[in-house]
Chain A
Amino acid sequence: MAVAVAVLRHLAPLGPRIPPHGCAGGRLLQHRRGLRLSAAAAIQVTVRDALNQALDEELERDERVFLLGEEVAQYDGAYKISRGLWKKYGDKRVIDTPISEMGFAGIAVGAAMAGLRPVCEFMTFNFSMQAIDQVINSAAKTCYMSAGLIGVPIVFRGPNGASAGVAAQHSQCFAAWYGHCPGLKVVSPWSAEDAKGLLKAAIRDDNPVVMLENELLYGVPFEMSEQAQSKDFVIPIGKAKIEKQGTHITLVSHSRLVGHCLEAASVLAKEGVECEVINMRTIRPMDIEAVEASIMKTNHLITVEGGWPQFGVGAEICARIMEGPAFNYLDAPAVRVTGTDVPMPYAKNLEDNSVPQVKDIIFAVKKVLNV
């Protein structure tokens, strides 16, 4: 049997193949997923499908898991993340809520306190501000206030940060806000594997986890390893991943901008600058040790995020680096690349200049390295 599999693996040309954008590629992948013959190979999966798989697998695995939010059931999800789940699991497990964020977030937290394991979707995290009291005061703090008597195994998930042309009220990044609070865990996936592994980990975690997805990433396909296709694939919360090894400078980022860092790195590589790109994966608890170890190798740091600069994720990383052993290894001050300090404008040219672009990262690298 192993021989047959090995032969098949040899025959089927695989690797990072980018399928056509949109549904056609998705459907092709669905069909391919059905074939388990060449299971020993990586496949292309969009972030959307990865999240869908994670939800499907966890709903199947544990009866106490259920999903609630606006349009998650009969509409298949505002962004189609929960496509097919209501049809498969029914009204009890996939619940459409009215437009009442504070109410349904509170209901979800109460359900978690009483032993269920809810996944509470915010259509975007901008709307979570309506419910933020329930996330912080009811979910995050209860384990502590009750001295461990009452746990809150809940996941709050949804798209976070800038999208495209949705203007100021729909584009805010909440990584710094939620990352500020003890009692919460905050994760921010980039790739499909991140999305699947972190969502599964979040659902299985006995603590409140905020999962900050990104709408612009939902349709992007990534290679998903065989290991990641398993129903038990979980990514540990609190561990960063080195996406690309390098020697000259460390780029630390989370979510969509990890992709920008990798693009910048490939442009810079042609000029002989080797960037190490770290994908944080988790905002809280932050894997600062991974950043420190990298700096001790490269001696230079740039943090890259979509959120605003003041009190942001990058500011925290820089402060911690100063407090730790890696400071002495820095050959230049740590630098932050962030969203522009302005409410998100609508006009495309203005919007483009309100979020970090690849050129902004490249510029910063060259400034830091003085090249």
Chain B
Amino acid sequence: MRKMLLAVLSRVLQSPAAAAAAAKPASRVMVASRNYADFANEATFEIKKCDLHRLEEGPSTTTVMTREEGLKYYKTMQSIRRMELKADQLYKQKIIRGFCHLYDGQEACCVGIEAAIKPTDHVITAYRAHGFTYTRGVPIREILTELTGRKGGCAKGKGGSMHMYAKNFYGGNGIVGAQVPLGAGIALACKYFGKNEICVALYGDGAANQGQVFEAYNMAALWKLPCIFVCENNRYGMGTSVERAAASTDYYRRGDFIPGLRVDGMDVLCVREATKFAAEHCRSGKGPIVMELQTYRYHGHSMSDPGISYRTREEIQEVRSKSDPITLLKDRMVNNNLASIEELKDIDVAVRNETEEAAQFATTDPEPPLEELCHHIYFNEPPFEVRGPNQWIKYKSGS
């Protein structure tokens, strides 16, 4: 009875996009032997076909998602969403300073990618990095505390929004496009060490026009480096739409001699499948591959950009209502009996609480001590003296 009511409710509430996603009527309902006896253990979904460049076959158009996976992706995406909105709040209160480039709307990209690679694989991205910092293992509290410039931040307050790092995560890079050759270099190290690891090097639609990206494409293809070049195309490079910046907006083809995929970046399962395909391509020694993720950012380029001078509020609203990655996943899970609305609401509450606590910590943690100003100039170096603003002020440099 409850199941029927739920089904009716969800069909009334769901958006057209989610309806398409839940189009498979007879999802496998297995009697789960654990957790809530009502829910299915997994479901099969049809996902959008990817556009292909120089590829005979693409990623699968159906995929299986388990309940466990769904809950994990949901929680992760929701955590990133809440964290970014909290950062927005803190920035407006002037507790976060400088540059702050928010990722809300793009959550499916970093979550989908992480779902398809291993912790031993490597990731590098540009400055819109908070989402990846989280999926690569840094807790919300350390991210927010880095944003507020306190000593408990993941870079001890030395880096800020654009310079967050973790194991096998190389930032967080402020110079547009510079991270792409770096990523190819990390891939070279992967090939050199021979441990079957790959590198995912991300850049935006704006960075896609940087010359060094093409230099990296050339060398990666020449040397068959295991690098997935991912273009997160959110349609705008700061205030410039893709049509005004690129003679060719088919970013997945811009690698020319490198095979490419164009992927629905709002669908976490699509991103996952495409990344699995791309990772397999790299690991099999075929060399690099380009993956364009069609995505969208709700915020402006950064917190200093309201984001509505070069696009309409209607456009933003349309994406929110029809293609929001979290809503898409939620509807899929509810419609296929992988979770209940209440359960997901519980997750929402837990995430909100975690974010609140993290923000609390981020606003009360002390700033890094002045004595540490000149630490880490060098790596693994005996301490030396550093000149301050005048010749009488000297700092000690620790490592």
A contact residues vs B (CB 8 Å cutoff): 66, 92, 95, 97-98, 100, 102-116, 133-134, 137-138, 142-153, 182-183, 185, 206-207, 285, 323-324
Compute how far the CA of A144 lies from the CA of B185 in the bound complex, rounded to whole angstroms.
Answer: 20
Contact A105 B171 (CB under 8 A): no
Q: In the assembled complex, which residues on chain A have CB atoms less than 8 Å from the CB atom of B182? A: 106-107, 109-110, 113, 134, 138
Contact A102 B377 (CB under 8 A): no
- Scan residues 66-118 of chain B and give those whose CB is less than 8 A from a CB of chain A: none
Compute how far the CA of A98 lies from the CA of B215 in the bound complex, rounded to whole angstroms.
Answer: 9
Most buried by B among A104, A112, A114: A114
- Scan residues 176-192 of chain B and give those whose CB is less than 8 A from a CB of chain A: 178, 180-190, 192
Contact A147 B376 (CB under 8 A): yes
Q: In the assembled complex, which residues on chain A have CB atoms less than 8 Å from the CB atom of B211? A: 102
Q: Does B10 contact A (CB under 8 A)?
A: no
Contact A111 B159 (CB under 8 A): no
Q: In the assembled complex, which residues on chain B have CB atoms less than 8 Å from the CB atom of A285? A: 384
Contact B188 A98 (CB under 8 A): no
- Contact A106/B170 with A111-B185, A146-B163 known, Cβ cut-off 8 Å: no
Contact B181 A143 (CB under 8 A): no
Contact A107 B216 (CB under 8 A): yes
Compute how far the CA of A100 lies from the CA of B219 in the bound complex, rounded to whole angstroms.
Answer: 9
Contact B378 A113 (CB under 8 A): no
- Scan residues 9-49 of chain B and give those whose CB is less than 8 A from a CB of chain A: none
Question: Chain B interface residue count: which class?
Answer: 35 or more
- Scan residues 247-298 of chain B and give those whose CB is less than 8 A from a CB of chain A: none
Contact A107 B193 (CB under 8 A): no
Q: In the assembled complex, which residues on chain B have CB atoms less than 8 Å from the CB atom of A143? A: 376-379
Contact B156 A147 (CB under 8 A): yes
- Scan residues 142-175 of chain B and give those whose CB is less than 8 A from a CB of chain A: 155-159, 163, 165-166, 170-175
Compute how far the CA of A144 lies from the CA of B183 in the bound complex, rounded to whole angstroms.
Answer: 20
Q: Does B5 contact A (CB under 8 A)?
A: no
Q: Does B218 contact A (CB under 8 A)?
A: yes
Compute how far the CA of A331 lies from the CA of B156 in the bound complex, rounded to whole angstroms.
Answer: 48
The smallest beta-carbon distance between B171 and chain A, in angstroms, is: 7
Contact of A150 among B170, B185, B216 (CB under 8 A): B170
Compute how far the CA of A254 lies from the CA of B124 in the bound complex, rounded to whole angstroms.
Answer: 39
Contact A147 B181 (CB under 8 A): no
Contacts A/B (CB < 8 Å), 10 sampled: A102-B215, A103-B215, A104-B219, A106-B215, A111-B186, A138-B173, A143-B379, A146-B376, A207-B380, A207-B381
Contact of B155 among A107, A145, A185 (CB under 8 A): A145
Q: Does B391 contact A (CB under 8 A)?
A: yes
Q: Which residue of A lies closest to B194 (CB)?
A: A92
Q: In the assembled complex, which residues on chain B have CB atoms less than 8 Å from the CB atom of A107? A: 181-182, 184-185, 188, 216, 219
Q: In the assembled complex, which residues on chain B have CB atoms less than 8 Å from the CB atom of A112? A: 185
Q: In the assembled complex, which residues on chain A have CB atoms less than 8 Å from the CB atom of B396? A: none
Contact B189 A144 (CB under 8 A): no
Q: In the assembled complex, which residues on chain A have CB atoms less than 8 Å from the CB atom of B222? A: 98
Contact B376 A148 (CB under 8 A): yes
Q: Does B352 contact A (CB under 8 A)?
A: no
Contact B216 A323 (CB under 8 A): no
Compute how far the CA of A233 lies from the CA of B327 in the bound complex, rounded to whole angstroms.
Answer: 64
The smallest beta-carbon distance between B267 and chain A, in angstroms, is: 30
Q: Does B399 contact A (CB under 8 A)?
A: yes
The smallest beta-carbon distance between B163 and chain A, in angstroms, is: 4
Contact of B159 among A104, A147, A185 (CB under 8 A): A147
Q: In the assembled complex, which residues on chain B have CB atoms less than 8 Å from the CB atom of A109? A: 181-182, 185
Contact of A106 among B155, B156, B184, B190 (CB under 8 A): B184
- Contact A113/B185 with A107-B216, A145-B155 known, Cβ cut-off 8 Å: yes
Q: In the assembled complex, which residues on chain B have CB atoms less than 8 Å from the CB atom of A114? A: 122, 170, 185-186, 189-190, 199
Q: In the assembled complex, which residues on chain A have CB atoms less than 8 Å from the CB atom of B124? A: 110
Q: Which residue of A lies closest to B156 (CB)?
A: A147
Contact of A110 among B185, B215, B378 (CB under 8 A): B185
